[in-house]
C-alpha cells in the first residue's frame, strides 16, 4: 500500500480545543484494546492452552505434571507420522509450483504494458474471487475421471492416457495451486513494482553485463517479496482444509482433513489438539521468517 501525506508528523493536540485532555497514549491504548483482546482470546489463548494441555498430564491425585507422552504417542502412530510427512511434502511441492508459475507471470506483467498484460493480470487474479468451495467443485468436474479436460484431450488430440489427479496427491497440488496463484502474482508484482524502471530496463536488454546487473540489483531487491510469498504460501497450504478434503485421497491425508476427522468423526479432541500444536511447531520457523520479513518491510515504510 502506498502511503502518502504527512505520515509521521504527529497530530497536534493543540488544534483540538478541549478543556480536559485525555493523554493521547491512554486514548490510543483504549481504542486498540478491543482488537488486541479479541486476538488474545481467539488466537493466543487457544494456542497457548493447547500447548499447555498437551504438555501436561493429570496424575491420579489430581496434580499436574509436565509430560511429553501425548507427543510420544503422536510419533508412535505410524499413520500420524505418515500424514505429517505427506503434508510437508505436498506443501513443499505446492509452494515450489506456485513460485515457478507465479514468478514468470509477474515478471512478464512488470515488463508489459497494454491490453494483453491487462488481460493476463485479470486472469491471474481471477481465482482470488472464486471461493475455495466453488473452486473445489469446479475442479472435480473439470479434472475428474471422464471430466471436461479428459474429454477435450480425447476428442481434440486423441490422447487417451489421461490419469485424473482427482483423489490423488496431485489433485491437492492442482487445487491449491489454482487457489494460490493470485496471491502469489499479487505479492510478486507488488514487489517488482517497488523496483524503479531504470533498474529494470537494464535487465530487458539481454547483454551479459546487463543481465548481471539484473541478477545483482533486481533480485536482491526482490528478496523480501520472494520470502513473503514463499512463507505465506507455506502457511496457507500447510493449514489448508477444503481443497485437500474434497480433492485429495482417503490416505495419506493432509493435516487439515486429518485433524478435522480426529476432532469430529473419530471424536478424539485431545488428539486433534496434539496434531494442531505439532502443525504450529513445524511451521514455527516459517512463521518467524514470514513475520520478520513483513515487519522489516513495514518498519522501513513507517520510518
Partner 1 sequence: MSQKKSSLRNALSVAGSLLAVLLICAACAMPVPGQTAAETEVSVIDVYIGSDTNISDWWSNSIKPAFDKAHPGYELNIIHTGSGGGGNGPIADRAMAALETGNDPGSDYFETFNPLQPIGAMEAGLWQEITEDNVPNLANVIDSARRSSNGFDIPYRGSQVLLAYNAERLLQILKDRGEVGSDATEVPSEFVPATWPELMEWICAFPGEFIYPRPDTTGAGREFVTRAVFQANGLEVDRFSVQAYAEQYGAGELTADQIAEINETHFAGAWEQLNAIEPCLYDNGAYPSGSSAETRLLVDNLTTMITIWSDQALQAKGLGLLPEQTKFIQLDDLPMVGGYASSTIPTNANDLEGALLLANYLLSAEMQESVVREIGGFPAISWDLLPSELQEDFNDVITDTVPSFSSSWRAAMFDGWYTHVAPDVERE
Partner 2 sequence: MTVMRSVAERSLRLVAGRPWFGICLLLLLALVVLGPMLNVFLWAFTRNWTYPSLLPTIWSIEFWDDTFTRADIAEGFIDSVWISLIVTGLSAIICLPAAYAFARMQFPGRTFFLLSFLATNAFPRFGLYITIAVIFFRLHLIGTVPGVVLIQLVNTLLFMIWIPTAAFQGVDRALEEAALDVGASPLRVFVQVTLPLVAPALAAALLLTFVGAFYETQGALLVGVPEVQTLPVVMIRLINNQVIVQYGAILSVALWVPSLLLLVFAQRVLRGNTIASGFGV
Is 196 a residue that touches partner 2 (CB under 8 A)?
no
- For partner 2, what does the binding mask look like between residues 253 and 292, x meaning CB under 8 A? --xx--xx--xx----xx-xx-xxx-xx--x---x--xx-
In angstroms, the CA 177 to CA 194 distance is: 25
In angstroms, the CA 221 to CA 242 distance is: 35
Q: Is the Cβ of residue 204 or residue 251 nearer to partner 1 in the bound state?
A: 251
Residue 252 partner contact from partner 2, partner 1, none using kind-dependent CB cut-offs of 5 to 8 Å: partner 1
Among 71, 99, 142, 162, binds partner 2 (CB under 8 A): 142
Is 163 a residue that touches partner 2 (CB under 8 A)?
no
Is 81 a residue that touches partner 2 (CB under 8 A)?
no
Is 236 a residue that touches partner 2 (CB under 8 A)?
yes
CB of residue 255 to partner 2, shortest distance in Å: 7
Q: Is the Cβ of residue 31 or residue 66 nearer to partner 2 in the bound state?
A: 31
Whether residue 293 contacts residue 228, with contact meaning beta carbons closer than 8 Å, is answered with yes
Q: At what angle do helices 132-143 and 169-193 cross, to 10 degrees?
A: 130
Is 39 a residue that touches partner 2 (CB under 8 A)?
yes
Burial code (b: 16+ CB inside 10 Å, e: under 16) for 146-163 equals ebebbeeeeeeeeeeebe
Is 221 a residue that touches partner 2 (CB under 8 A)?
no
Which residues contact residue 159 at a Cβ distance below 8 angstroms, ignoring those fewer than 6 apart? 153
Q: Is the Cβ of residue 2 or residue 63 nearer to partner 2 in the bound state?
A: 2
Block residue for cell numbers 511434502: 89
Q: Is the Cβ of residue 169 or residue 184 nearer to partner 2 in the bound state?
A: 184
CA 162, chain centre distance (Å): 30
The DSSP string of 87-111 is: HHHHHHHHHHHHHHHHHHHHHHHHH
Is 190 a residue that touches partner 2 (CB under 8 A)?
yes
Amino acid at each position: 500500500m502506498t502511503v502518502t501525506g504527512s505520515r509521521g508528523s504527529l497530530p497536534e493536540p493543540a488544534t483540538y480545543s478541549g478543556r480536559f485532555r485525555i493523554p493521547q497514549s491512554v486514548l490510543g491504548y483504549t481504542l486498540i484494546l478491543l482488537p488486541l483482546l479479541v486476538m488474545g482470546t481467539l488466537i493466543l489463548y487457544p494456542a497457548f492452552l493447547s500447548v499447555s494441555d498437551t504438555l501436561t498430564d493429570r496424575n491420579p491425585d489430581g496434580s499436574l505434571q509436565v509430560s511429553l507422552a501425548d507427543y510420544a504417542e503422536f510419533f508412535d502412530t505410524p499413520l500420524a507420522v505418515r500424514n505429517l510427512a505427506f503434508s510437508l511434502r505436498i506443501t513443499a511441492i505446492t509452494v515450489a509450483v506456485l513460485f515457478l508459475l507465479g514468478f514468470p507471470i509477474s515478471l512478464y506483467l512488470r515488463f508489459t504494458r497494454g491490453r494483453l498484460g491487462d488481460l493476463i493480470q485479470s486472469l491471474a487474479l481471477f481465482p482470488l474471487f472464486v471461493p475455495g468451495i466453488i473452486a473445489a467443485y469446479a475442479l472435480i468436474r473439470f479434472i475428474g475421471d471422464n471430466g471436461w479436460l479428459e474429454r477435450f484431450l480425447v476428442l481434440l488430440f486423441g490422447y487417451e492416457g489421461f490419469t485424473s489427479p482427482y483423489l490423488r496427491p496431485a489433485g491437492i497440488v492442482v487445487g491449491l495451486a489454482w487457489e494460490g496463484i493470485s496471491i502469489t502474482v499479487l505479492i510478486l508484482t507488488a514487489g517488482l513494482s517497488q523496483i524503479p524502471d531504470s533498474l529494470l530496463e537494464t535487465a530487458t536488454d539481454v547483454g551479459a553485463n546487463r543481465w548481471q546487473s539484473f541478477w545483482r540489483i533486481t533480485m536482491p531487491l526482490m528478496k523480501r517479496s520472494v520470502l513473503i510469498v514463499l512463507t505465506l504460501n507455506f502457511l496457507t497450504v500447510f493449514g489448508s482444509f477444503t481443497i485437500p478434503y474434497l480433492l485429495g485421497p482417503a490416505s495419506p491425508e493432509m493435516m487439515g482433513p486429518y485433524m478435522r476427522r480426529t476432532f469430529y468423526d473419530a471424536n478424539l479432541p485431545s488428539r486433534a489438539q496434539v496434531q494442531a500444536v505439532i502443525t504450529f511447531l513445524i511451521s514455527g520457523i516459517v512463521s518467524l521468517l514470514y513475520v520478520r520479513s513483513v515487519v522489516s518491510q513495514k518498519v522501513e515504510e513507517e520510518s
